[in-house]
Amino acid sequence: MIVVLATTEDHLRAAWRVCLGLGVVPPLSLLYLRIKLQEPEAYKRETMAHAQTPWLLCAKLYWFRLAVVSLIWFVYDFSAYSFGIYSSSILDNLLGDGSPLWKSFGWNVLLNFFYMPGCILGSFLADVPWLGPKRTLAAGVILQGIVGFIMAGCYSYLNRPENVAGFVVVYGVFLALGEVGPGDNIGLVASKTSATAIRGQYYGIAAAIGKVGAFVGSWLLPVIQNNAPNETRAGQDPFFVGSSLAIFSGCLALFLLPEIGQDTIEAEDVRFREYLERNGYDTSAMGIKETQTVEGRAEESSETEEQSKA
């Protein structure tokens, strides 16, 4: 909004290039921080980077859990990306063709602001012992579905220029609840429901299926709107679909995901090793041997120094 106000609507070619350039900064900063970050001890101990990965055994153990996590991620991205992308066009329809572009961006700024309280609230709720990531995720999307159904039912009243503020607030609550649930917790669930040895592949598959959901949602939402019998239904039907899927994903999380606590990763690593050993896999090849050797030498040298001092 600020860039468009600075360049005016007569120089939008410059505006989008400036915005694109600014958008490069956050991911580049994260890339730098990730390069500087050391791998955790659990990774150094459990990795299969220098061992043969038993893909069939991994698939037998984790296929169902991975399918549930991937489906929840698919549904979340289906709603989050499609509703996020088309919020601008929805607001443009509300404000009318004669409204300046910066005003549409201004309402979008307010709308996107609702992501923040949703993320912050979800991060605290996920750490509450009796809730945890699993129930926080389920509660967030179920509440999001309920708000979505309310929006669909009241759409004929909200879809008026004089009610644009009410529409933005209700829509913002809808988006915020998505962040309280899977927005904060689906990545956490994908990270903690698999062993450290295969977490990268497990997480990557679930995230990729989520992005397929984003593509499907962005493609399907206009189809739903274009095939609606009237203008009101064109606004209602996407919320009916999105809300139904949100409640469905909440039920999946509530009934099919395992409990997740502070010690889940350690327990999962032990469970995975025991499973591999029962099925004849040599787990002694796991881990980073160079790190273990260096640590062993350091321990031996420290013991030698203590003995010499004694």
Question: Could you tell me the domains of the chain?
Answer: 55-265 (1.20.1250.20)
Contact assessment for residue 239 and residue 159, using Cβ atoms and an 8 Å cutoff: no
Which residues of the chain, if any, have pLDDT below 50? 291-298, 300
Report the alpha-carbon distance of residue 13 to residue 3 in Å, rounded.
Answer: 11
Report the alpha-carbon distance of residue 260 to residue 254 in Å, rounded.
Answer: 12
Report the alpha-carbon distance of residue 1 to residue 106 in Å, rounded.
Answer: 6
| Residue 253 confidence (pLDDT) | 95
Report the alpha-carbon distance of residue 142 to residue 294 in Å, rounded.
Answer: 50
Q: Give tens-digit pLDDT for 44-100.
A: 889 898 888 999 999 999 999 999 999 999 999 998 887 776 676 677 767 777 778
pTM: 0.84
| Residue 297 confidence (pLDDT) | 46
| Residue 114 confidence (pLDDT) | 92
| Residue 78 confidence (pLDDT) | 92
Report the alpha-carbon distance of residue 179 to residue 196 in Å, rounded.
Answer: 26
Report the alpha-carbon distance of residue 159 to residue 162 in Å, rounded.
Answer: 9
